[in-house]
Structure 1
Amino acid sequence: MLAPLPLFLRVPLVCMLLLVSTFVHVLLVLALTLLRLILPIAPVQRGIGAALVWIAESWLSINGWLFGVFTRTRWVVEGLEGLALHENFLIVCNHQSWVDIPALQKVFNRRIPFMRFFLKSQLIWVPLLGPAWWALDFPFMKRHSRQEREARPALRGKDREATRRACEKFRHLPVSIMNFTEGTRFTKAKHDAQESPYTHLLKPRAGGMAFVIDAMGDAIRDMLDVTIVYPDGPGTAMDMLAGRIREVRIHVRRLPIPPSLRGDYENDPAFRERFQGWVNDLWTEKDARVGAMIAERAGPTP
């Protein structure tokens, strides 16, 4: 509708509207969070928690609407049938761009429970958004590398325990937990440095998935295997706002989580090897799917 506006008008206008929407929604979230802190009554806590999710979903809906109004981006999405708000999901996705998060929020908002993802502990200091993520129960994690764990044995098990604590609060409410299994955005330099065996993907990091599945237990029974592709190449958030991302393709596949994938990833070598093998097979299929999605780009873009 407003996509034909000149770029020098369109980008400042959409940025201003996104900022205003973010400011208003975050203020509402923080005000309700303060009320939740001073009224530790179970029914009130549950009601405020539901209201916080409604506000967050409202913010995501407005963001998605603005993308539709100000850009000509074509959205090609497959596999959303049969999803429900009352079911819990672990979402596993490849990571191409900073656009991935708003793109997935646009596609899944109000189709599945509100998505939460693990954040680096430093992100709590991001103005406005950091406190809002905390108020919405996004788990903040301080991950320890293998080298750190080997140098400091006391750190062994800390990642798993931190994941368990973060997931404990999710066991009693509808939730979708987002996991970018590669751990970082794909670039050619990272791909070459890893000597990745995949054409379009980085090597998957299986530990985070295993920790969440183990910590959530039967509270999560299904996984959404999500593949995201930008046929013209990934871009930045500003590329999206400026209309330079012409097409986003997203494929969703629902998979049950079998009992064999629940176990002690850190301390059981046999289970760890089995789980890594399963993830590697999943990633081989995903790599082929990315190639097919690029090749199957249908019709001319606007």
Structure 2
Amino acid sequence: MATAAPAHVTPDAGRDVRPLSVEGLTIRFGGIVALQDVSFTVRPGTIHALIGPNGAGKSTCFNAITGIYPPTEGRILLGDKVLTDTPAHRIAALGVGRAFQNLALVGSSSVLDNVMLGRYSLTSGGFLAYGLRLPWTMRAERRHQERAAEICDFIGIAAHLHKPAGVLSYGDQKRVDIARALAVEPTILMLDEPAAGMNSSETAEMAGLIHDIREGLGISILLVEHDMSLVMGIADQVTVLDFGRLIADDVPAVVQKDPSVIRAYLGAEGSQTHDAPAAPASAPHPQPDEKETPA
């Protein structure tokens, strides 16, 4: 598990951790409305969960924030910077890091090289200059490698730095993916199903890691997650979507007792006998949805 960040991993003094604001976000795919007038704010330095049943629009919302899907209506801001219609690579450079549900690591490359992929958005020369191996690019690359190694140390994978990413355990590969997202030096880290495919022990470790990232780096975290015990245990704020609409946005204790949330997860009959979708003993966990785009 990660520990409190050493001084060399802590963000620069005076770094601006700004709110992420989603305002009236609507996304349509042809005649299908994937999101309808969704608004919420991730406050600086908080862990904010975005939850909902399969097909609720969670991944669509994530893809809009990171520039993959253009909004039909509404806008997205990071502080006073408008992310709407901004190219994905520029959004990363503005301070948005994302780890994905489906791992997309280069299995034959080292852990360090995989994490370094997140640093290239911060370089000034681009791939061509680095490919020519000009002296100034080599000095810059060494500095970026040192920083990537520091991030791996903080995440708890320093011992695997020079191993092929593909030989690591699933849990450690998840950590590599998170380290790569942190390599862009984000002020907000977006985690898509960080505990997907993990057993209870691994999920507990992931919850601890997410908490330590927030505490150690002082950044905001927005996560999509189906494990309700994890969400209710670490989130400061929970936003709930159902059929592309926002049905709740409050602290976990309020959300888990909200009748609209209970109906969304359990159906009308289930809401009469179950108090909340939070605990595994009282509510079945929905299975992770691979895609939320229309079929």
Shorter-chain TM range is 0.3 to 0.5
Structure 1 or 2: larger strand share?
Answer: 2
Structure 1 or 2: larger helix share?
Answer: 1
Answer 1 or 2: higher relative contact order, Cα 8 Å, separation at least 6. Answer: 2
Give the structure-1-normalised TM-score.
0.35
Give the structure-2-normalised TM-score.
0.36
